[in-house]
Structure 1
Amino acid sequence: MKKWLWMISMLLLVFTVSGCGTNQTSTSSAHEEKSKTLVFGFTPGPYIDQVKKGIEPHLKKKGYTIRYVEFNDIIQPNFALAEGSIDVNIFQHTAYLENFKKENKLDLTEVIKVPTAPMGVYSDKHDSLDDLKAGDKIAIPNDPPNIARALRILEHLGWVQLKPDYKPISVSERDIISRKVNFTFVEVEQAQLPRTIPDVDYALVNGNFILSSGRKLSSSLYLENPPFEYQNLVAVRTKDKDKPFVKDIMEAYKSPEFQKIIETDPSFEGFHRPNYFQQ
């Protein structure tokens, strides 16, 4: 009897251990599957198209599942990234990210530049920049980093003269010494700028919002050559910057396949290309 009781006890122990092992394997697999799902955040524009066409195929080969979240304004994506509801966002340039991080105390990091749709000058009323006259209305973004960006473009065009010692990232209307003519600024939220083009004389609009409105970069009267601080980027939580998924995303952007898409797809015509692109 004792022998039979011992054998039954051993069998129960084996089944219990086996059950625990199965559960641990299942839990481990579920965790691995979750870690291979990446959630990308965007605002309307071309950067989601870049990922779908050139980045997602590369990541899928490495076993990732990609999900997309599109936000209606430029405020939400960084908060969503910081709180963990998305893993990556691609919609902003360095100046905007650094300003937003500072104002909202967010621990986010830029990891790589992406092909960028430049800011340009657009008009439905004028065919030339030479038509500028007194009383004209010029629409510009209403957020400080992009006000600075617009003013630097206008300085390049000779429409304004800025103080010699202005700070490139924070320059504002207060730094204007003189204007070519007495025109008026109309400050508008970035995403709404394309809608103002018919109602103003000139509008300085970020390229992604021009494209999302159905216009083309080639319809501009002037396109900037964006400096480093105005080139768009991939942002992640700082604690994640050295994780494998970030390295895999960077590898995808630097791949020959992605470069070929940017160079041959008409929807990316006029984009500024990062330094890692082969010339």
Structure 2
Amino acid sequence: MKKSRSWRAGMLAIALSAVLASPSYGADPNKPEIRFGATAGPYSDQIRYGIKPQLEREGYKVTIVEFSDYVQPNLALADGALDANAFQHEVYLKKFSEDRKLALSGLVKVPTAPIGLYSHKHKRLDELKDGATVSLPNDVTNQARAIILLQQLGWVTLKPGVDPVRSSERDIASNPHKIKLVPLEAAQLPRSLDDVDYAFVNGNFALAAGLKLTDAQLLEKIPPYYLNLVAVRSADLNKPYVADIAKAYKSAEFERVIDQRFAGFSKPSN
């Protein structure tokens, strides 16, 4: 009898050891792999160095899918090819989702590189000459960010009653220097620096192109609604893997990664 009990205890110990040693398939049993989309550069690197290690310790497999534009990451998320993405602010997400009738929601805001005004031809902003060319993003929300900075510089003024956050070229009331605005896809703005006098470049694409935030002649002071965020499908907001993503972004470990690798980024208040 004692031998039988001893044998059973030994087998139980072996079975328990096997369970503990076997590979984990995620804290969320219904989501062993998280496919995370981001624009190439700092936001994919934030996931790579600050988020992926944490989620993999929880047992998830994390795959990072990089994009070079601001359209495909949301379409891929809505279609189920991604489980989350990180590249956009809430103003862009809201408009894109409304225009495309997509059920996407913001989860948590992330440290964000500001849009900046760069030049390869001029060392100072006061070198602006009449008829100068200035490239800026062609998507609605990021173009408004650039126009707000143009107004702050005094290079343009907006029509009375216009909401700057929703402004576009059509809302410019005066342009005393007769600046020629050149709207381009955000990813193309760094390449335009050889052809224009000044270029507004989104922070992620500036860093991906080898520019430094300190190279900018003007940097945006990012308001909360322009901080980038992690987006997920609205139907998934209460799922365990989504909670684990949010937890990783709010962790002290992630904050240390930001301080070490992403100096100069604007951080969310919570």
TM-score (norm 2): 0.87
Distance apart, 1:71 and its partner CA: 2.1
Give secondary structure in 1 for the equivalent of 2:165. Answer: coil
Q: 1:274 maps to what in 2?
A: 268
Q: 2:62 maps to what in 1?
A: 66
The residue identity in structure 1 corresponding to 2:35 is V
Distance 2:242 2:33 in 1: 12
Given the alignment of the two structures, is residue 212 of structure 1 paired with residue 208 of structure 2, yes or no? yes
Distance 2:172 2:217 in 1: 23
Distance 1:153 1:36 in 2: 44
Given the alignment of the two structures, is residue 263 of structure 1 paired with residue 263 of structure 2, yes or no? no
Distance apart, 1:129 and its partner CA: 0.8
Q: 1:188-203 counterparts in 2 under 5 A?
A: 188-203=184-199
Alignment: residue pair count: 246
Distance 1:168 1:136 in 2: 23
Distance 1:71 1:56 in 2: 18
**Do the aligned partners of 1:55 and 1:252 also contact (CA within 8 Å) in 2?**
yes
Given the alignment of the two structures, is residue 184 of structure 1 paired with residue 207 of structure 2, yes or no? no
**Do the aligned partners of 1:94 and 1:228 also contact (CA within 8 Å) in 2?**
no
The structure number with the bigger radius of gyration is 1
The residue identity in structure 1 corresponding to 2:141 is P
Gaps of 5+ in 2: 1-24
Q: 2:13 maps to what in 1?
A: none
**Do the aligned partners of 2:48 and 2:64 also contact (CA within 8 Å) in 1?**
no
**Do the aligned partners of 2:33 and 2:62 also contact (CA within 8 Å) in 1?**
yes
Given the alignment of the two structures, is residue 52 of structure 1 paired with residue 48 of structure 2, yes or no? yes
Distance 2:172 2:68 in 1: 32
Distance apart, 1:264 and its partner CA: 2.1
2:151 aligned residue (143, 155, 166): 155
**Do the aligned partners of 1:54 and 1:257 also contact (CA within 8 Å) in 2?**
yes
Distance 2:129 2:263 in 1: 31
Distance apart, 1:49 and its partner CA: 0.6
User: Which deviations, in whole Å up to 9, do the C-alpha atoms of 1:136-171 show, x marking residues without a partner?
Assistant: 000011111111111011111221111232123321
Distance apart, 1:253 and its partner CA: 1.1
The residue identity in structure 1 corresponding to 2:61 is T
Q: 1:88 maps to what in 2?
A: 84
Give secondary structure in 2 for the equivalent of 1:121. Answer: strand
Distance apart, 1:64 and its partner CA: 1.2
**Do the aligned partners of 2:117 and 2:201 also contact (CA within 8 Å) in 1?**
yes
4+ runs of 1 displaced by more than 6 Å? none
Distance 1:185 1:206 in 2: 16
Distance 1:72 1:144 in 2: 17
Distance 1:119 1:157 in 2: 14
Q: 1:3 maps to what in 2?
A: none
Distance apart, 1:47 and its partner CA: 0.6
User: Which deviations, in whole Å up to 9, do the C-alpha atoms of 1:69-117 show, x marking residues without a partner?
Assistant: 1123221110110010110011111121111111110000001110001
Distance 1:34 1:62 in 2: 14
User: Which deviations, in whole Å up to 9, do the C-alpha atoms of 1:17-73 show, x marking residues without a partner?
Assistant: xxxxxxxxxxxx89x666121000112221111111111122122211101111232
Distance 2:125 2:170 in 1: 24
Distance 2:225 2:181 in 1: 23
TM-score (norm 1): 0.84
Give secondary structure in 1 for the equivalent of 2:131. Answer: coil
Distance 2:30 2:239 in 1: 15
Gaps of 5+ in 1: 1-28
Distance apart, 1:260 and its partner CA: 1.3
Give secondary structure in 2 for the equivalent of 1:91. Answer: strand
Q: 1:15 maps to what in 2?
A: none
Give secondary structure in 1 for the equivalent of 2:123. Answer: coil
Q: 2:139 maps to what in 1?
A: 143
